[in-house]
């Protein structure tokens, strides 16, 4: 595998379920990001990790819980979600630095029933 | 507050025609500016970026963008559009935060349709 991979690509879950999204980067980067992409809304940066340390949490509800066990893997744990959380969740990675190019995965399409 | 505006939600052009996608930002200092493209079912791909220097930036796939400080704009252009350019295009601003890290603010995107 090359680049940034995300699994699963599609996920349907009930409001009481617990699920996790996985992201893996094969680019040797040290920064990873979670974004939420909803229809007709700007892409929202949710979490930023630099060398496994969380550096940004943009007022994301606690029902979203990120985990970064190492610089190659990033998880987003989901529990008791709401229907308005249905969206495309994108993972990205880069070298740490505002000038460095982010590489995005294809996303996980999440539907909350 | 910082923001990025892409005033055109949809644009349709004929193949071979020229293209300009508009982007305006609101930020006190000179930001780091980016254009990304997203094809259906895929993540975003960087087309080009601007940090400083020459205000006309060349990117991949024949795209270019011009930074105009006086207009707070960073418009994306292509002289001749190909059918494969049909996608959604996002403008973004990179900002340093007070906590010493950085974040990105994206526009809502412009969906490009190309007519054969």
Residue B98 has pLDDT above 60, yes or no: yes
Contacts of B43 in chain A (CB under 8 A): 4, 90, 92, 103-107
Mean pLDDT rounded to a whole number for chain A: 91
List of chain A residues whose C-beta atoms are within 8 Å of the C-beta of residue B46: 101-102
pLDDT tier for residue A1 given thresholds of 50, 70 and 90: low
Q: Best mutation site among A42, A91, A99 for testing chain B: the one with the most B CBs within 10 Å?
A: A42
- What span, in angstroms and rounded, lies between the C-alpha atoms of B87 and A100? 23
What's residue B99's pLDDT?
Answer: 72
CA distance B7 to B24: 8
Tell me if A101 and B96 make a contact (CB, 8 A cut-off): no
* pLDDT one-digit tens code per residue, B6-65: 999 999 999 999 999 999 999 877 789 999 999 988 889 999 999 988 999 999 999 999
**To 5 degrees, how large is the angle CA B8–CA B114–CA B110?**
20
pLDDT in the model for residue B41: 84
Chain A contact probe: residue of B59, B102, B111 with most A CBs at under 10 A: B102
Q: Is A10 on the interface with B (CB under 8 A)?
A: no
pLDDT tens per residue, range A33-88: 999 999 888 899 999 998 777 777 778 999 999 999 998 999 999 999 999 999 99
Residue B51 with chain A: CB contacts under 8 Å? 99
Q: Which of B42, B51, B94 is facing A106, going by the closest CB pair?
A: B42
Q: What pLDDT sits at residue A41?
A: 87
């Amino acid at each position: 595998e090359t680049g940034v991979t995300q699994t699963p690509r599609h996920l349907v879950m009930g409001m009481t379920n617990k699920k996790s999204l996985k992201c893996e980067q094969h680019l040797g980067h040290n920064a990873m990001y979670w974004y939420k992409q909803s229809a007709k809304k700007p892409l929202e940066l949710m979490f930023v990790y630099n060398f496994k340390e969380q550096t940004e949490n943009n007022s994301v509800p606690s029902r979203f819980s990120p985990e970064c066990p190492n610089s190659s893997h990033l998880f987003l744990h989901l529990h008791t979600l709401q229907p308005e959380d249905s969206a495309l969740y994108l993972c990205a990675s880069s070298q740490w630095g505002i000038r460095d190019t982010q590489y995005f995965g294809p996303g996980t399409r999440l539907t909350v029933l | 507050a910082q923001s990025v505006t892409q005033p055109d939600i949809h644009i349709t052009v004929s193949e071979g025609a020229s293209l300009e996608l508009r982007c305006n930002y609101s930020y006190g200092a000179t930001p780091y500016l980016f254009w990304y493209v997203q094809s259906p079912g895929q993540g975003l791909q960087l087309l080009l970026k601007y940090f400083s220097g020459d205000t006309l930036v060349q990117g991949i796939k024949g795209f270019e963008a011009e930074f105009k400080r006086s207009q707070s704009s960073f418009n994306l252009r292509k002289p001749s559009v190909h059918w494969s350019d049909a996608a959604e295009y996002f403008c973004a601003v990179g900002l340093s935060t007070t906590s010493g890290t950085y974040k990105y603010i994206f526009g809502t995107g412009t969906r490009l349709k190309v007519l054969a």
